[in-house]
């Protein structure tokens, strides 16, 4: 947990990553999507997230230097966590965002641990099921 919070534990990193879930954004688009973030803070978070390998910058202009930003493969690994975290936060604060549901039947979705090789569920509460 300490390693994860060292990367994502500040006020804005999760917001930056969540804003990039739907695809690449340019700096101005990213700033507009996040809202109240100061330009210097956004630049610092983008740099940190690039250094951590979670965000990729693709230049589209040399003069002035400009780039669009997108999640890396490692950043995409956080997508389920970010969506679940956002839904949890909205429910906690009484927001309108609800638990995601299955489109075919309307049942609320659950996040579960499972092994993609054996297709067996794992129970994180049981130390025998999960090694970290």
Tens digit of pLDDT for each residue in 43-66?
Answer: 999 999 999 999 999 999 888 889
pLDDT, residue 129, reads 58
- 70-87 pLDDT per residue, tens: 999 999 999 888 888 887
Is 64 inside any structural domain?
yes
- 2-47 pLDDT per residue, tens: 888 888 888 899 999 999 999 999 999 999 999 889 999 999 999 9
Specify the pTM: 0.77
Domain of residue 69, CATH code: 1.10.10.10
Token pair listed for 50: 């690039």
Is 120 inside any structural domain?
no
Is 43 inside any structural domain?
yes
Sheet containing strand 25-26, edge to edge, reads 25-26, 66-71, 55-61
Is 100 inside any structural domain?
no
- 75-130 pLDDT per residue, tens: 999 988 888 888 788 778 776 556 778 889 988 777 777 888 888 888 766 656 56
Give every CB contact of residue 128 below 8 A, 6+ residues apart in sequence.
none
Structurally, how many domains does the chain consist of? 1
Q: Which of 37, 36, 18 lies closest to 97, judged by CA? A: 18
Is 81 inside any structural domain?
no
Q: What's the domain range around 26?
A: 2-76
Is 27 inside any structural domain?
yes
Is 24 inside any structural domain?
yes
Is 71 inside any structural domain?
yes
pLDDT at 132 over 60: no
Whether 69 and 46 have beta carbons less than 8 Å apart is answered as yes
């Amino acid at each position: 947990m300490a390693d994860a919070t060292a990367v994502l534990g500040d006020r804005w990193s999760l917001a930056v990553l969540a804003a990039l879930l739907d695809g690449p954004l340019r700096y101005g688009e990213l700033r507009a999507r996040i809202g109240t973030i100061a330009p210097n803070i956004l630049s610092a978070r983008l740099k940190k997230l690039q250094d951590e390998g979670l965000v990729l910058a693709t230049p589209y202009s040399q003069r002035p230097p400009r780039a669009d930003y997108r999640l890396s493969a490692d950043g995409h690994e956080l997508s389920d966590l970010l969506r679940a975290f956002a839904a949890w936060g909205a429910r906690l604060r009484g927001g309108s965002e609800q638990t995601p549901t299955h489109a075919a039947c309307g049942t609320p979705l659950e996040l579960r641990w499972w092994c993609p090789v054996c297709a067996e569920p794992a129970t994180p509460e049981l130390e025998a099921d999960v090694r970290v």
